[in-house]
């Protein structure tokens, strides 16, 4: 019987997958989904990995994944391993498509007969995918490029949320709940300030309020990057909290700014920037700690949550890991069907029974590159010192479920690709 | 039939339990063991808790635990809850037993007909137990006092290790393994310095090397508080590691000191001391970060592990929690049998098959109060920049096993006593 829907498969060839940008606890789950998905596609022969993203590729650092990831146990261990198993980079490709870097990259694609490229990354990495796709259209070489989302920051537009974000806020909420419990045991007045990642958006800091929904200890005040930070109001807020109980816990985004647009973090003064032109930040919490010592005079401690926020593989959200595998597999199928220049995103299903589920949609990667999704104003309270319950209800499904990770001698077993 | 061993039970009356000093992830497991143990003793009528330790007791802050902890689920939830469910304090009792504080405390004991006191704490808390016991002997009031050990620092003498230490190093080892994995993904030269608690002893920092035994990523260099820290040798060590691979992870005790006995941490300069006369420390890792930037010039980041080391209830060692319950229950039985002024400790059993188990022993609390157990020199390598495999083999059994903690809405459920 003739199948009307059967379309000719695009060119048969090899695929390559790369990881880029900051690591997350779920980026390898997406890698697992990509590899698994690609292996189901008839027109994909071999699956390669670029070591250290596009930068490694330019240096010819390519691995054949055929022997690296083989069994179901391999896939599972990879899904439970934080950070980027293929390594990462922070390289930004030039805007000028006439730059000699592009023929160099495509020469390597030719060398390995690469016809499908999947690039897993955040905002800056989507820019890379977008440029590769644009250059491919100009070059006389049939290739399909796909941007696969990951970022703990949850700041990509179009998508309901980003893979990796759920595990990050599960860890942040859990840790802030524990810190609040720890701080509650003394009768002496004390303020604890927890600094959470988030340069431009406060999604991660909002996670510090999540235990509130379950009646657990959590941050009493939450200052997200979206609000205009005012030192006088801050001191008023803290004093008010100290009237209620001796121990106050405060969560702040690293990127909180005052009315004049200046970062509260001290190191803004140094003027140093990272490779993407972002200002290098450190110490919003330290500045506020000094402020409280000076203006209130009580005991004060600041805690920078630092790297564990993005690599705490021992505290994964099952929902996040499952979705991260799903988006990887969906992208594999999508690119192998001959789509190029696209980006995958989550749509939150509108289920009649109110239950939570997501579907995967696709749009041109150029629609999302170099844009930032911030917390909408209605999710922040009027005073600007906390997030609303509505936001927490929106976040809660993303942290549900725990993952039993492989353990040996009392410690996690991480999967490596050499 | 007549039982030769049957002795008359000591006085019938009530018991009180308190928690003191810094919190741990296992101190409530010990509390659970104490309550459970006391309830099995015929001569104990009621079990009370002092809120905020001896300081709360002096203020009459006493709770009846009869209705607070009742079911098996209560015990289990309590065992899985970090920090001190009864609250804590850092009060040191005066050395002069003629101080009016002592009759005040014993007046409250009389008021509640307290005949048995169990005080769960670390080094400084054992001093409190010792003094209460000494005063009890002078006062015309029959009372039995017991010191129940807890401290993440593992710096109590006599005992093989301390309850709470196993969970702390399980968390530290897990987190450093994840940080090392995170740092390994970039090809750019970078040094990451992780500062770990430990003012006088480096047991906790040693935990950062534990993943090495399982072939996992971990700290490449470990500087414990016991070694004489030398800045020049440190820079040499780091340079040597950077020749092997681009990313170097270093663990340091907060209390590392140079040859002249000065803390590497900056704030020693401020001369501020805590209530126990300890120097207030912060920033050994920050000082080393600046040192590396200046002397090597590569990217460098410092991470202070801070409070989560002592309150990460989501990453408990099953061995530690079981032992913590055991020591609590053993102390209850011991004090109810009429012993006073004692401290419980672990003896590592010398099993013929090499398997790991502990027994609980008892000795006078005065033998351990105000002393510090440091890492023996033979457990530190010659260069003083790492710990030996022998030490890691000694530590490994303490982190074995995971605890499935009660979860709700994706977050831990903590038990509270109001």
Chain B residues within 8 A of A84 when measuring between CB atoms: 185
Residue of A nearest to B400 (CA): A410
State whether B411 and A174 contact (CB < 8 Å).
Answer: yes
CA dihedral A164, A165, A166, A171 (to 10 degrees): 100
pLDDT for res A183 = 96
Helix-helix angle B318-336:B72-79, to 10 degrees: 120
pLDDT digits (tens, 9 = 90+) for B152-206: 999 999 999 999 999 999 999 999 999 999 999 999 999 999 999 999 999 999 9
Which of A122-126, A377-381, B84-88, B150-154 shows the lowest mean pLDDT across its residues?
A122-126
Residue of A19, A213, A412 with shortest CB distance to B409: A213
Q: Do A170 and B411 touch (CB under 8 A)?
A: yes
End-to-end CA distance of chain B: 47
CB within 8 Å of A94: residues ≥ 6 apart: A101
Is residue A153 part of the annotated active site? The answer reads yes
Q: Which of B249, B400, B409 is most worth mutating to test chain A (most A CB atoms within 10 A of its CB)?
A: B409
Contact predicate B91/B119, CB 8 Å:
no
- Is residue B193 a contact partner of residue B289, using CB atoms and an 8 Å limit? yes
| Residue B221's pLDDT band (cuts 50, 70, 90) | very high
Distance from CA of A1 to the nearest CA of B (A): 50
3-state secondary structure of A416: coil
pLDDT value at B268 more than 50: no
Residues of A in contact with B83 (CB under 8 A): 178, 181-182, 184-185
Residues B88-121 have pLDDT tens digits of 999 999 999 999 999 999 999 999 999 999 999 9
Q: Which among A82, A89, A192 is the nearest to B178, CB-wise?
A: A82
Cβ contacts of A344 within 8 Å, gap of 6 or more? A146, A147, A148, A149, A327, A330, A331, A334, A360, A361, A362
The catalytically annotated residue of A124, A127, A153, A320 is A153
- Residue A1 has a pLDDT of 39
Contacts of B174 in chain A (CB under 8 A): 314, 411-412
Å between B52 CA and nearest CA of chain A: 7
What CA–CA distances, in Å, run from B136 to B9, B95, B106, B142, B341? Answer: 19, 14, 8, 7, 9
pLDDT at A285 over 50: yes
- Find, among B392, B393, B397, B327, the residue nearest to B26 by Cα: B327
Tally the residues of chain A: 418
Q: Which two tokens stand for residue B234?
A: 């440190």
* Predicted local confidence at residue A365, as pLDDT: 86
CA A68 vs CA A25, A38, A324: distances in Å: 20, 15, 20
B167: left (phi over 0), alpha (psi -120 to 50) or beta: alpha
* Mean pLDDT over the full length of chain B: 93
Nearest residue on chain B to A53, judged by CA atoms?
B186
Whether residue A182 and residue B83 make contact (CB cut-off 8 A), yes or no, is yes
**pLDDT band at residue A123 under the 50/70/90 scheme:** confident
- Looking at the complex, report in whole angstroms how far the Cα of residue A50 sits from the nearest Cα belonging to chain B: 12
Decide if A153 contacts A122 (C-beta within 8 A): yes
- The residue-averaged pLDDT of A358-366 equals 94
Residue A62 has pLDDT above 80, yes or no: yes
Interface pTM, i.e. ipTM: 0.94
Q: Mind telling me how many Å the CA of A41 is from chain B's nearest CA? A: 29
CB pairs under 8 A between A and B: 178
Overall average pLDDT of the A326-352 stretch: 96
From B280, B278, B260, select the one nearest B270 (Cα to Cα).
Answer: B280
The rounded percent of chain B whose pLDDT value lies above 70 is: 94
Which of A216, A313, A410 lies nearest to residue B411, judging by beta carbons? A216
Query: Looking at residue A305, what is its pLDDT?
Result: 96
Between the alpha carbon of residue A15 and those of residues A47, A109, B166, the distances in Å are: 5, 9, 46
- Please give the C-alpha separations between residue A203 and each of A198, A222, A377, in angstroms, as whole numbers: 7, 11, 12
pLDDT band at B269 (very low <50, low <70, confident <90, very high): very low
Strands B358-364 and B342-348 turn out to be antiparallel
| Band (A278; pLDDT cuts 50, 70, 90) | very low
Contact A214 B182 (CB under 8 A): no
| Residue A147 confidence class, pLDDT cut points 50, 70, 90 | very high
For residue B374, the 8-state DSSP code is P
- Distances in whole angstroms, Cα of residue B330 to Cα of each of A14, B44, B364, B368: 65, 15, 15, 18
CA distance B235 to B220: 14
Distance CA A174, CA A180 (A): 10
List phi, psi (to 5°) of B347: -110, 125
- In this predicted structure, the answer to whether residue A271 has a pLDDT above a threshold of 60 is no
DSSP state, residue B46: E
Average pLDDT over residues A45-55: 97
């Amino acid at each position: 019987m003739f199948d009307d829907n059967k379309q000719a498969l695009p060119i048969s060839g090899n695929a390559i997958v790369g990881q880029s940008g900051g690591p997350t606890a779920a980026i390898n789950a997406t890698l697992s989904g990509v590899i698994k998905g690609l292996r189901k596609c008839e027109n994909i022969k071999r699956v390669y990995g670029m070591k250290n993203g596009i930068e490694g590729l330019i240096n010819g650092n390519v691995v054949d994944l055929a022997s690296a990831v083989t069994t179901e146990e391999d896939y599972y261990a990879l899904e439970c391993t934080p950070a980027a198993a293929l390594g990462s980079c922070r390289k930004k490709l030039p805007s000028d498509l006439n730059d000699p870097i592009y023929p160099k990259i495509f020469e390597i694609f030719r060398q390995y007969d690469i016809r499908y490229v999947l690039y897993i990354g955040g905002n800056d990495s989507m820019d890379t995918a977008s440029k590769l796709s644009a250059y491919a259209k100009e070059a006389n070489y049939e290739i399909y490029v796909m941007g696969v989302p990951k970022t703990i920051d949850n700041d990509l537009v179009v998508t309901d949320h980003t893979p990796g974000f759920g595990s990050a806020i599960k860890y942040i909420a859990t840790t802030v709940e524990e810190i609040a419990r720890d701080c509650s045991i003394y009768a002496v007045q004390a303020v604890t300030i927890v600094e959470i990642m988030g340069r431009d958006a406060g999604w991660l800091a909002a996670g510090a309020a999540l235990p509130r929904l379950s009646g657990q200890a959590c941050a009493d005040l939450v200052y997200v990057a979206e609000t205009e930070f005012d030192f006088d109001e801050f001191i008023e807020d803290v004093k008010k909290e100290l009237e209620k109980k001796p121990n106050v816990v405060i969560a702040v985004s690293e990127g909180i700014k005052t009315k004049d647009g200046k970062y509260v973090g001290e190191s803004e003064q140094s003027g140093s920037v990272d490779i993407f032109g972002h200002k290098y930040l450190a110490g919003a919490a330290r500045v506020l700690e000094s402020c409280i010592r000076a203006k209130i005079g009580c005991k004060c401690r600041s805690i920078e949550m630092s790297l564990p926020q993005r690599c705490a593989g021992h505290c994964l959200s099952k929902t996040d890991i499952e979705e991260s595998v799903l988006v990887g597999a969906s992208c594999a199928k999508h690119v192998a069907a001959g789509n190029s220049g696209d980006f995958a995103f989550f749509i939150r299903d509108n289920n009649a029974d109110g239950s939570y589920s997501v579907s995967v949609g696709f749009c041109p990667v150029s629609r999302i590159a170099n844009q930032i999704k911030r917390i909408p104003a209605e999710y922040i309270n009027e005073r600007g010192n906390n997030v609303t319950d509505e936001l927490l209800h929106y976040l809660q499904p993303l942290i549900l479920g725990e993952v039993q990770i492989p353990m040996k001698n009392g410690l996690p077993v991480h999967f490596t690709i050499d």
